[in-house]
Structure 1
C-alpha cells in the first residue's frame, strides 16, 4: 500500500453559523489527541482574537486528526461571504468537502456559494445534516432541499449521488440513519475514510507543490503551506520557486513542518498527498506560486480568486490628538504593515499610489476591510479611514458597478418597511414568499453602494429579528445616484473637554456621540443633527457661575446615553468629506478639513 492511501484531505464548508468549528471540536476531542484532564476551549480552532469576539471563522486553518492508522488532514473554512477568498484558495488542496447544512434552516445563501465552488472543481461533497437534536429540526426536508440545490447548481450524476450523514457537533455524535443510537463521531470518521479519495501522486516522481497559504516568521522568513502533488520533500533539499510571472528562483528548505492536532511539528521528510509547511522561500513568494524540483521544473496554473468590490483610503492621522494612544503613526510604518498583509492575504488588494500620504486598500466587503483595520488598531497603529467606495469597471464602454444578491428572512410585519428601504437603494426584488409561520423570505439584486449602512438600519427595522445575507452576483450598468445619509452632523467648533451642561442643552438638537468628560477638538463630529444640515456646536460650554446664591436648587440634569458606533457602523456612517480616526483607545469621526474656513474654501473650489 502506498503512503498516500493512508491520507485523507478534507475541508469543512458551510453557511455562517451552521456549526463547522463546533463539529471539528467534537472530532478533535474524540480523536484522543488531548489528555483526559486537559482544558480545551470551545471553538478551539478559532484562535484569532477577533474570531473569538465575533463568533465567526475569519481565516482557514489546518489540523491533522489521526484515526486508526489513517491521517485525516482537515481544513476549517470561514462561512461569511466577505472571506470567501479563504475558501476558494484551499479547495484545490483537498479530495472532498464536508458540506454542513443546519437541520432546521436548510441550505442558506452561503451554502449555495461554497457548494458551487466545490462542484466546479469536480469535488464530490459529503453532506452532513448538522444540529439534528434541535427541537424544530426537520432532517428529511433539509436533505431534499440540499439535493434540489445540487441539481440547481448543475451537479453531475456522480456528484448528485452524494453520501450523507446526520450529526450534532455540539452533542458530539453522528449516525447514518435517524434510527441509529446517538453515541459518538465514529460513523463520520468511517464515512470520511470511505467517501474521500486518497490524494494520489507518485512518490518516485520529482517534487511538485502549489502554495495555498502564506505566512511569515521573523526567524525562518517566508513560509508556504500546500498539498504535495507528487514526489518527496526533505529538510535541506534545494528546490525551485516559480512565481505568477514564470520567474524561477532556487532556494533551500530551511525547515519542514506538518500538523498533529492543533500543533505544528518538525519533520525530516514528507511524501506526496500530505499537507506540509515549507520555510526558506524567497521573500516575494505568494499564494498560487509553484514549488518544484530542479530536475523537472513545472508551473501549476494560478489560483483564481474573485476580485474585491470595495475600497477605502488609509492615511496618516492628522488630528490634534495624534500619537496620544498609538505607537505607529507615520506613513512608512502604515505602509510596511499593509505590505506585510498583502503578502499573506491574497483577497485584499493594496495599492501604493503616487500620493505620499495615503494607501488604497480594496476588499470583498465592509467586514473584510474592518477586520484588517481592527487588527492594525490593536497592534498600536493610528490612522484615518475614508468612506468606502465601490470599484467601478468598464465593460464594452459602459460604466458598471458591483451588484449583490441579497437574501432576507424577516417576520411578515416588517417586510413592507424593508421593501421600501431597499427600493430607495435601487434594489430590484426577485422573489417573495411567506411561510405558514409568518416568516417572509425576500430576494433582491442590490448595488453594493446601496448595501452600505443597510445592515444597521435593517436590524433596527426588524427589531433584531431579521437575517440578511449578501453574495456578489456580478457587475451591472451604473444605477445612478443613491441617497446617502439623510441627516447632518454636529461638529465641535472648539477644542476642550465636554461637560454635562453643554450635552444637556444639545441633546434636543439630535443624537450625541460623546459623553461628559470626553476630549474633543475643532472639526470633530460629536453627534447627529436632527435636520439635514451640518451644525457647528460648542460641546465644551460650561454653566455660567455667579457668586449670587439662587433661591432654588439647580435643576436635575438627565442625559440620554450617547450613541456608541462600532468600527463597521462608523465607516458606513461617514460621508465623502469625513474620515474615521482610528486609534488603539478610541474611534472618532471628524471632518476631513477641521476648520470652518477650510471647509468653505474647499466648497468654493469644487463649485468653480
Structure 2
C-alpha cells in the first residue's frame, strides 16, 4: 500500500516557447526516467512530428518520476487557447503547478490564462524563471512582473536554465517542499477522473486517469458516468515515460488503464470513472461536452482522393475525438467534408496532419463560426432557433428575425510602440475596448488590452495580422462569452450570373461591400479570359454590391477584309456580336482549381 503523503501531482504552465517541454526533459533525465542514450530527441513528451517542429504541445502527456523516495507525477499540458478545456481537466487532476516564465520575455497572455485557471483550482504555484543564461535575461525584472501582474510571491522563485541543466535539483526540491500531497480515501467507492485518452494500434484506447477515491484494479468492471457505458479493465499501469504495468492505482495516483475500447469518442475528457458494482454517489464536477467552435469545408484537389480523405479523417478521429466531420458536396469543388474544430490552431494542425501523414492535397473553404438563427413562424413551421455551420445552408431571409454570432473576450499583451496599430486592428474588426493597462517597468513595460470581439472577425487571419503588425511581440489569448445579435448578411459570389456556393460567406453588413469588392477583384485576376465577357458579382440577396468584368478574348474577324466597302466589316462584327451574346448565354465558365484556392486564401485578408 502506497503512502499518499509521498505523492506529488503537478503540471507545468507556460506560454508557447518558454521552455516547458525542455524542462520536462531535464526532470525526466535527472530522476533517471531515461538515460542520455534513450533521449533520442529533445521534447521527449512531444511525440508528434508537428509538435516538435512548431515547438508546441498538442496532447497532454504524463510521466511518473521517483525523487528521494517521493513519487512525482508530471502532467505536460498544451499551452494554446484551443485546448483550454483539456488544460482545465489536467489541472483538476493536480494539486500544484510549476509556472515557467522566460527570463528574457516575461509574462505572456497564455501564461496568465492558465495561471488563473490553476488558482481557481486552489493550486500551490511554484514560479520558475527559465533561460537565465540568455544574454537578454532579466530575472529580477521578471520576478517583479510575476508579483505585479499575477500577484504571486516570487521572492523564492527558482532560477533555472532547462537547456543547460541549471537549477533542476532546486526545481525538484521545490515541488516536494511546496506542493501539498493529494487527499483521498482508499476505502470509499471508486471515483477517478478521465484526464485524456489516445488510440494505440495494439492496446486500443489508452485512458489517462487520476484516482480521487478508491482503487482501480486489473479485472475490475468500471462505468463511465457521463457516457453511461461499462467496460472491463484489462491493463493498469503508469508511464516512466516507458510503459510500466502495475497491479492497481490507489487514491492520489495518476496512471493509465485500457479496457478494450475501440473508439476515443467513447472516452470523453473530464468523465468520472466509477466501479460498476459499487458506484460513487455523484460524478466529479466540471465535466462538459467539447463543442466545435470553427467550421470549414475540406475538399480533395483531385476528386479521386475522396475515399482516401474519408479514411484519413476516420483514422485521425481515432486519436482526436474533439473534431467532427460530415459529408458535403459543392457544385464547384465536388465531394468533401464539413469539419468542426476547437479553434484555428486545431484546424491548422488537422489540415497539416492530413497533408503530411496521409499525403493529401486539400482545398479548405473560408472558416466560419456557429451562428444562431431565430426564424419566425410560417404556414408550415413554428418559430424556432437553428444553428448554422455552413453559409450555403442559410434559410430564406424573409423568415429570419435575427442572427446571433459568437463573441470572445480577448487579452492582448503588446509592447508600447505597436499599441496604436493594434488598437486600429481591433477597431476595424468591430472590437469593443474593455480595458487598457500597463504592466512592468522600463524596457519590460507592455500594454495589456482587453477587447470584446466577434469570433467571425478573428477566424479570418486576425492572429497573423496581429503578429505581423507587432513583429511577433504581441501575445493573444481569448475565451468565449456567448452569442450576441449582429447585423449579419450572407454574401454570395456570382460568376457569369451563377452563384458559386464554395465562396459564399456570412459577413457584417458594414464590411460586406469592402469584402465583396476585394473578392471580385481577386477573382478577376485569377479566372482566365474566355471568348465572351464574364461578369463577377458579389450580392446580398438580390442586390449586387460589387462587380468586376473579365473582358472577352477578341478574335479579329475583319482580318480577311483587305479593302472594299465598310458595310462588309460592320456585317462581320455584328455577326460576331450575336455569336458572343449566344455564347454568354450557353457558355460555361471553367474556374481553375488554383483560382479557387487563391480566392479562398484571399477571403482571409
Task: Calculate the TM-score normalised by the size of structure 1.
Answer: 0.69
The structure richer in helix per residue is 2
Q: Answer with 83-92 or 212-221: which moved more.
A: 212-221
Distance 2:117 2:34 in 1: 34
- In the alignment, structure 1 residue 252 sits paired with structure 2 residue 287: no
Per the alignment, in what secondary structure is the counterpart of residue 125 of structure 1?
strand
- In the alignment, is the contact (CA less than 8 A) between 1:427 and 1:450 conserved in 2? no
Per the alignment, in what secondary structure is the counterpart of residue 212 of structure 1?
strand
1:388–1:398 Cα change, 3 Å? closer
Shift of 1:13: 0.7
Shift of 1:87: 1.0
Per the alignment, in what secondary structure is the counterpart of residue 199 of structure 1?
coil
2:346 maps to which of 368, 372, 376: 368
- In the alignment, is the contact (CA less than 8 A) between 1:403 and 1:476 conserved in 2? no
The answer for the alignment partner of 1:221 in structure 2 is 204
Distance 2:292 2:415 in 1: 27
Q: Of the two, which has the highest radius of gyration?
A: 2
Distance 2:177 2:551 in 1: 70
1:591–1:450 Cα change, 3 Å? closer
The answer for the alignment partner of 1:277 in structure 2 is 256
- In the alignment, is the contact (CA less than 8 A) between 1:580 and 1:589 conserved in 2? no
The answer for the alignment partner of 1:154 in structure 2 is none
- In the alignment, structure 1 residue 477 sits paired with structure 2 residue 455: no
Q: Structure 2 stretches of 5 or more lacking a match?
A: 375-384, 386-401, 488-507, 531-535, 537-545, 553-590, 601-605
Distance 2:130 2:295 in 1: 38
The answer for the alignment partner of 2:367 in structure 1 is 388
1:206–1:448 Cα change, 3 Å? closer
- In the alignment, is the contact (CA less than 8 A) between 1:329 and 1:382 conserved in 2? no
- In the alignment, is the contact (CA less than 8 A) between 2:26 and 2:162 conserved in 1? yes
- In the alignment, structure 1 residue 167 sits paired with structure 2 residue 160: yes
Q: Structure 1 stretches of 5 or more lacking a match?
A: 152-158, 175-184, 496-522, 524-531, 539-578, 593-608
Shift of 1:96: 0.8
The CA deviation string for residues 69-109 of structure 1, in whole angstroms up to 9 with x for no partner, is 22211011122222223311211111211111223333221
The CA deviation string for residues 208-234 of structure 1, in whole angstroms up to 9 with x for no partner, is 312111122334333311112223333
- In the alignment, is the contact (CA less than 8 A) between 2:403 and 2:486 conserved in 1? no
Distance 1:273 1:362 in 2: 35
Task: Calculate the TM-score normalised by the size of structure 2.
Answer: 0.69
Distance 1:419 1:580 in 2: 39
Per the alignment, in what secondary structure is the counterpart of residue 210 of structure 1?
strand
The answer for the alignment partner of 2:30 in structure 1 is 30
1:494–1:53 Cα change, 3 Å? farther
Q: How many residues in Structure 1 have an aligned counterpart in Structure 2?
A: 482
Distance 1:31 1:421 in 2: 48
- In the alignment, structure 1 residue 336 sits paired with structure 2 residue 314: yes
Distance 1:587 1:42 in 2: 41
Shift of 1:297: 0.5
Shift of 1:408: 4.3
Shift of 1:2: 4.5
- In the alignment, structure 1 residue 431 sits paired with structure 2 residue 413: no
- In the alignment, is the contact (CA less than 8 A) between 1:234 and 1:253 conserved in 2? yes
1:204–1:476 Cα change, 3 Å? closer
The answer for the alignment partner of 1:491 in structure 2 is 526
Distance 2:444 2:343 in 1: 31
- In the alignment, structure 1 residue 266 sits paired with structure 2 residue 245: yes
Distance 2:160 2:526 in 1: 55
Shift of 1:273: 1.9
- In the alignment, is the contact (CA less than 8 A) between 2:62 and 2:75 conserved in 1? yes
Distance 1:327 1:201 in 2: 51
Per the alignment, in what secondary structure is the counterpart of residue 41 of structure 1?
coil
The answer for the alignment partner of 1:512 in structure 2 is none
Per the alignment, in what secondary structure is the counterpart of residue 259 of structure 2?
strand
Give the RMSD, CA atoms, in angstroms.
3.9
Shift of 1:433: 5.5
